[in-house]
Amino acid sequence: IDFDTLGTRTLGAMTVEVIDPVADYAELMQQLFDFDAMRAWFAAGHRMRFDAMSAVSGPYARAILEGMLGAPAGTVVNGEPLEDFGGHHPDPNPAHAAELMAAMSSPDAPEFGAASDGDADRNMILGRDFVVTPSDSLAVLAEHATLVPGYRAGGVGIARSMPTSRAADKVAAALGTPCHGTPTGWKFFGNLLDAGKATICGEESAGTGSNHVREKDGLWAVLLWLSILAARGESVKEIVTKHWASFGRNYYSRHDYEEVDAARANALIEELRGKLGSLPGAQLRGLTVEKADDFAYHDPVDGSVSEHQGIRVLFEGGSRVVFRLSGTGTSGATLRVYIERYEPDPAKHDIDTQQALADLIAAADDIAGIRRHTGRDRPSVIT
């Protein structure tokens, strides 16, 4: 079978149809989004930059953004899929998309910037000199999805992974829809999507998707953002800051301690589990612990229970710290610490994230003894 030629072939008693996946995907996107509104946005002189990171989304982005929506040639950069991703790591974050970050901070920056990863399922969203965190992106998309034809009827629910910030919870409460907090892993969203219990899903590691497919979809998220920009006539930063003014800001960061000795990492977690009962009411760095638990998920679809999915320490006022182990194995373990501070006061929405979280970062070490157990005085990676 010649897979480079479209059409139907016969192989014995079997019929094989070779389709164009780009055209197939574009047809689905036209059922969800108002392409005329996005065309008008580009026709009005607005610009964007999409970094396909030399990965698989390039042909899809070029066909839709430049071919169907009229974005200027060159809007999609690194659009040719390469087996070695051009020698770069195709991870859509500020560290690995440095070229895009520089372009979005330049004097001639376009209004909208975005990137997707190697298999096009995760995404990064940028405004001019402004990074939208994956948690905030999920919340903003959930808030404004009804501006888009495919979601105009309203959602049946929002789902986020438990470590993802609780910004989406505020949106769900305002919309009167459920917000499901699942363990990390898209398979848990799959059950909710199949059962019609969720419309939009997201995780703090930059995966976002909806019930149009059973997987996260980076280009879909970019098109939804573009649709919102076209509908509201505002910048990325304006949309996000207005969201914070309405719902409060969830300052959020993940601290990864990589390649920690597995025995020491497990000892930290076991010690934490042993003190869960004594933490409520404790005073730490001016914060009061409201609740502490070892998160277990009861799947509302199949009734399964997933235990030990992360230790949560919740503070009065809506802040929290979550501890999880990831990647235990011969090279050790990665301790992930998720720090979140809820700030309802708009006058305090322009603080540096790590500064805003400083008391919680210190409290996390007080609670878990991170330095004592790991021998590290700082994380390997901060995102």
Q: pLDDT tens-digit profile of 358-371?
A: 999 999 999 999 99
* Two tokens, residue 304: 């399964």
pLDDT in tens, 99-110: 999 999 999 999
pLDDT at 154: 83
Helix (H) and strand (E) counts in the chain: 13, 20
Q: Give the C-alpha separation, 333 to 13, whole Å.
A: 51
Least confident residue range of 3-7, 23-27, 154-158, 255-259? 154-158
Handedness of CA 18, 21, 23, 25 (dihedral sign): positive
pTM assigned to the model: 0.94
pLDDT at 156: 87
pLDDT tens digits for 167-224?
999 999 999 999 999 999 999 999 999 999 999 999 999 999 999 999 999 999 999 9
Q: If pLDDT is split at 50, 70 and 90, which confidence band does 71 have?
A: very high
As a whole number of angstroms, the distance between CA 325 and CA 279 comes to: 20
| Dist. CA 371–CA 99, nearest whole Å | 35
Q: Residue 95: pLDDT band by 50, 70, 90 thresholds? A: confident
68 DSSP assignment: I
Q: Is the pLDDT of residue 11 over 90?
A: yes
The alpha-helical segments, DSSP class H, found in 85-182 are: 98-104, 134-144, 167-175
DSSP output for 202-244: E-TTSBEEETTSSS--HHHHHHHHHHHHHHH---HHHHHHHHH
Residue 327 pLDDT > 90: no
- Residue 295 in contact with residue 162, Cβ under 8 Å? yes
What proportions of the chain, in percent to the nearest 5, are helix, strand and coil? 40, 25, 35
- pLDDT above 60: residue 318: yes
pLDDT of residue 330: 52
Q: How far is CA 38 from CA 46, 223, 380, in A?
A: 10, 9, 40
Burial call 37-48: b when 16+ CB within 10 Å, e when fewer:
bbeebbeeebbb
Sign of CA dihedral 188, 190, 191, 193: positive
Share of the chain above pLDDT 70, in %: 99
Residue with the bigger pLDDT between 326 and 255: it is 255
Could you report the per-residue pLDDT of 268-289, keeping only the tens digit for each? 999 999 999 999 999 999 999 9
